[in-house]
Structure 1
Amino acid sequence: MAHNMLSEIHKDNTHWTIYVLVSHMWHYCGGTDEGPIKHTDLVLLDSEGTHIYGQLPPEPAEKLKDVLQEGKVFVIRKFLCNASKTTYIPVESAFMVQFTNYTTVEEKHALADTFTFCTYSLTAFVDIPRARGGPARFFDVVGRISIVFYVVLVQSMHQTAPSNTRTIMLEDLLGNTIRLVLWGDRVAGFDADTVRAMGAKEPVIAIFVGTLPKMAFGVKGLIGISACRSYIDEDIPDINSIRNGLGDKFAPLATYDPVGPGALVPRVHEDPTNKTVKELDELDPFEDMEKRFCCTITISRFDPDQRWWFHSCSMCRKSTKHDGFQYRCSDDTCSSVEADLMYCVSVFTADDTVEAEFILFDRVAARAVGKSLMAILRQKYRGYNTASNLANATRNDAFVLDEITNLVGKKYRMLVSISKRWKSQKNTDKLAFQVNRIEETFKPELPPLVFDNGSGSIGSSSLGVGSSSQVPSVGPVLWPASHVPRTHSSPANQTPPPTVRLSPSTPATWSSAPKCGARRSLFNTPLKETKEPAMDHVLDGQLLSEAVMGGSAISTDVKDDQFLSPNTKPAAGDKDDA
Structure 2
Amino acid sequence: MPFDLFPTLHPKSKHWVICARASRKWEYRGGTDDGPIVHVDLVLGDEKGNAIYAEIPSSEIDTKSPLIQEGGIYIISRFRVSKAKSLYRPVDGPYMVEFTCYTKITPAKDVPQTFPTHIYKLTPFTDLRRHIGENRNFLDVLGIITEVSDTRSVQLPNQPTPTLNRNIVLKDLSNLEIRLTLWGQRAAEFTIDAIYNEEQPEPIIILVVGTLMKSYSGEEYLSGNTACRWYFNPAILEAEHFYTVLRNQRLPIKHTTASTDQTAPMRTSLPLEDKHLNDLQAMDPYDFPDGGCQCTITITRLVLTTPWWFPSCNRCSRACILDGDGYRCNTCSCTGYRFKYKLCFIGNDGTAEAEMIAFGEVGRRIVGKPVQQVLRTSRSANDTPPDVAAIVSLKFTLAVTLTEQSYYNPQKSYQVNSVITAYGRQHALPDTRHDQHKHTAGSQMPPHALTYPTSSTTDLASQTLNYPMTSYSTPPNPTVQYRSTNISPSSAPEIQIAPHKTIPRDITPPPPLDHDETPSKKTAPTHDVASSKHSIAQKRLFQDTMDTAKDSGAPKKTKNDTSKAAPSAPLSLAI
TM-score by length of 2: 0.60
Aligned residue type for 2:64: L
Change (3 A) 1:296 1:20: same
- Which SS does the other structure have where 1:255 is aligned? strand
Change in Cα spacing, 1:429 to 1:215, as seen in structure 2 (3 Å) is: farther
Question: Does the 8 Å CA contact 2:24/2:70 hold for their aligned counterparts?
Answer: yes
Partner of 1:298: 299
**Aligned-pair RMSD on alpha carbons?**
5.0
Other structure's SS at 1:97 match: strand
Equivalent positions of 1:348-363 (< 5 A) are: 349=347, 354=352, 356-363=354-361
Aligned CA distance change for structure 1 residues 93 and 425 (closer, same or farther; 3 Å): same
| Paired position in structure 1 for 2:482 | 473
For structure 1, the 5+ residue unaligned runs are 330-335, 382-400, 449-468, 484-497, 501-578
The one-letter code of the counterpart of 1:192 is I
Aligned mates of 1:285, 1:203 — CA distance in 2? 57
Amino acid at match of 2:3: H
Q: Is the 2:32–2:361 contact (alpha carbons within 8 Å) kept by the matching residues of 1?
A: no
Q: Distance in 1 between matches of 2:13 and 2:291?
A: 55
Note if 1:69 corresponds to 2:69: yes
Q: Which residue, 130, 133, 141 being the options, matches 1:131?
A: 133
1:169 and 1:178 in contact (8 A); partners too: yes
Deviation at 1:176, TM superposition (A): 2.9
- Given that 2:356 and 2:413 are in contact with CA atoms closer than 8 Å, whether structure 1 keeps it comes out as no
Structure 1 residue 229: Cα displacement = 0.8
**Which residue of 2 is the match for residue 213 of structure 1?**
213
Per-residue deviation at 1:413?
Answer: 4.0
Q: Distance in 2 between matches of 1:327 and 1:177?
A: 29
Distance 1:95 1:261 in 2: 42
Match of 2:514? Answer: none
Cα deviation, 1:280-317, whole Å, max 9, x if unaligned, reads 4467987854366353243668597x999999886555
CA contact (8 A) 2:281 2:411 kept: no
TM-score with structure 1 setting the length:
0.60
Q: Is the 8 A contact 2:402 2:412 kept in 1?
A: no
Give the conservation status (yes or no) of the 8 Å contact 1:270–1:292: no
For residues 65-214 of structure 1, the aligned pairs below 5 Å read 65-109=65-109, 111=111, 113-125=113-125, 126-127=127-128, 128-131=130-133, 135-194=135-194, 197=197, 201-214=201-214
The residue correspondences of 1:485-500 to structure 2 (distance < 5 A) are none
User: Which residue of 2 is the match for residue 57 of structure 1?
Assistant: 57
Offset at 1:68? Answer: 0.9
In structure 2, the CA distance between the partners of 1:175 and 1:474, relative to structure 1 (3 Å rule), is farther
Q: Deviations over 1:14-33 (max 9, x none)?
A: 22222211111112233466
Aligned pairs for 1:301-380 (under 5 A) are 302=303, 315-317=315-317, 338=334, 349=347, 354=352, 356-364=354-362
Query: Aligned equivalents of 1:303 and 1:52: distance in 2?
Result: 40
* Partner Cα distance (1:196, 1:41) in 2: 31
Q: Does residue 1:419 correspond to 2:405, yes or no? A: no
Cα distance per residue 1:158-188 (max 9 Å; x no partner): 3343333211122223333222221222234
- Name whichever of 150-159 and 16-25 sits farther off: 150-159
Distance 1:17 1:136 in 2: 28
Q: Is the 8 A contact 1:21 1:112 kept in 2?
A: no
Relative contact order, higher structure (CA 8 A, sep 6+): 1
**How many Å apart are 1:119 and its aligned residue?**
1.0
SS in 1 for 2:240: helix
SS at match of 2:68: coil
Query: Alignment partner of 2:482: what SS?
Result: coil
Checking the alignment, whether the CA contact within 8 Å between 2:346 and 2:353 is kept in structure 1 is: yes
Query: d(CA) in 2 for partners of 1:178 and 1:262?
Result: 13
Structure 2 matches for 1:225-304, cutoff 5 A? 225-245=225-245, 251-259=251-259, 268-269=268-269, 275-281=275-281, 288-290=289-291, 293-298=294-299, 302=303
Question: Which amino acid in 2 is paired with 1:238?
Answer: E
Matched AA of 1:480: M
Per mean C-alpha deviation after superposition, the further-off stretch among 91-100 and 416-425 is 416-425
Query: In the alignment, does 2:415 pair up with 1:433?
Result: yes
Alignment partners' CA distance in 2, 1:327 and 1:6: 37
Shift of 1:144: 1.5
Matched, 1:19 2:19: yes
Deviation at 1:120, TM superposition (A): 0.6
In the TM superposition, 1:445-484 aligns within 5 A as 445=452, 472-474=481-483, 479-481=545-547
Does structure 2 retain, via aligned residues, the 8 Å contact 1:143–1:171?
A: yes
> SS at 1:64's partner residue?
helix
CA separation in 2, counterparts of 1:142 and 1:259?
28
Matching residue's letter, 1:181: T
Residue type of the partner of 1:27?
Answer: E
Partners of 1:196 and 1:116 in 2: how far apart? Answer: 26
Tell me the CA shift for residue 91 of structure 1: 1.0
Identity level (%): 27
Q: Secondary structure at the match of 1:298?
A: strand
SS at match of 2:71: coil
Amino acid at match of 1:67: L
SS at structure 2 position matched to 1:4: coil
Match of 2:525 in 1: none
Aligned equivalents of 1:199, 1:356: Cα separation in 2? 64
> CA separation of 1:248/1:117 partners in 2, compared to 1, >3 Å: closer, same or farther?
closer
Distance 1:81 1:339 in 2: 30
Q: Which amino acid aligns with 1:116?
A: P
Describe the shift of the 1:245–1:361 C-alpha distance in structure 2 as closer, same or farther (beyond 3 A).
farther
Q: Which amino acid aligns with 2:299?
A: T
Quickly say closer, same or farther: Cα 1:261–1:4, change in 2 above 3 A.
closer
Alignment of 1:26-65 (within 5 A): 26-31=26-31, 36-65=36-65
C-alpha distance in 2 between matches for 1:78 and 1:89 = 23
Change in 2 beyond 3 A, CA 1:146/1:48: same
Distance 1:77 1:273 in 2: 55
Task: Assess if the C-alpha contact under 8 Å between 1:270 and 1:291 holds in 2.
Answer: no
Q: Residue deviations 1:473-492, cap 9 Å, x none?
A: 34798843489xxxxxxxxx
C-alpha deviation, 1:90, in angstroms = 1.2
- Residues 402/250 of structure 1: CA separation in 2 closer, same or farther (3 Å cut): same
Distance 1:408 1:225 in 2: 30
TM-fit CA distance, 1:319: 9.1
8 Å contact kept, 2:138–2:211: yes
Matches of 1:53 and 1:339, distance apart in 2: 26
**Count of equivalent residues:** 432
One-letter amino acid of the counterpart of residue 20, structure 2 = V
Q: 1:440 to 1:350 in 2, by over 3 A?
A: closer
Equivalent-residue separation in structure 1 for 2:182 and 2:370 (angstroms): 30
Query: Can you give the 5+ residue segments of structure 2 that lack an aligned partner in the other structure?
Result: 322-327, 427-450, 456-477, 486-541, 550-561, 565-575
Aligned to 1:4: 4
